[in-house]
Homo-oligomer: A and B are copies of this chain.
Amino acid sequence: MAQEHTNVETLFANNMKTTSLSTKQQSVLQASLTLFAQKGYENTSTADIAKLAHVSEGTVFKHFKTKDGLLQAILQPFIQDIFPKVAGEFLVSLTNNTFDDFSSFLRFVVHDRMTYAMDNRQEMKIFITEMVKNPTILKNLTSELGALLQNGVDSLFDVYKQRGQLVDWDAMRIIRIVSGVIVGYLIPNIIMSDKPLDVDQTTTEVCEFLLEGLQPR
């Protein structure tokens, strides 16, 4: 089962071409991404960004207007475009691929999301930090993502529920548990970004446990 996970960086590149960002502006965005992830938003000065992007201080503001505009330029595609798009893509690939049983389905889901998170560590770190600081983002995301998932996932789950491979719980409760366990495993790894994490092994470990709890007796 070939799985083409979506890298945010690639989508970024596309986005940049779409909005026709000049080379300099692209390097400004890239520098911001690096520094925000490394030192945090508040501890990064626009002068730092200019230096790393090999660009004048004025150029930093030419396109993105303010420092916050720069942050939004990084976060917004995450929230408005990429996240839902990825989620949609994900759902599509989910519905297209017919899994033999819930076990295969779960393995795919866990492995895919973990790979996605590990591939976009930098952005994720900024995202998490900003979420902690500004919970509104989380709220919006939760509701937006929730609505998107609820519609698509319900029917997906029903298949396995009918086959007796999945416990008959509310779809959101199942999602919360699965994502909770995944998040519990991932967060330390995203934050302490030196450690690499073996996605395959972790997937096996996580699934073994989840299956126990999610399969009806």
Contacts and interface: CB of A to CB of B under 8 A. Distances in A.
Interface of A: 40, 42-43, 125, 128-129, 131-133, 135, 138-139, 142, 167, 173, 176-177, 179-181, 183-185, 187-188, 191-193, 205, 209-210, 212-214, 217
Contacts of A138: 188, 191-192
B132 A191 contact: yes
Please give the count of copies of this chain that the complex contains.
4
A164 to B, nearest CB: 15
Nearest to A183: B184
Contact of A132 (B125, B214, B217): B125
Contact of A184 (B129, B135, B184): B184
A176 B214 CA distance: 18
Nearest to A132: B129
Secondary structure type dominating chain A contacts:
helix
A125 B213 CA distance: 30
Contacts of A177: 181, 184, 209
Nearest to A193: B135
Contacts of A192: 135, 138-139
Contacts of A181: 177, 180-181, 184
B209 A213 contact: yes
A113 to B, nearest CB: 13
A199 to B, nearest CB: 16
A193 B138 CA distance: 12
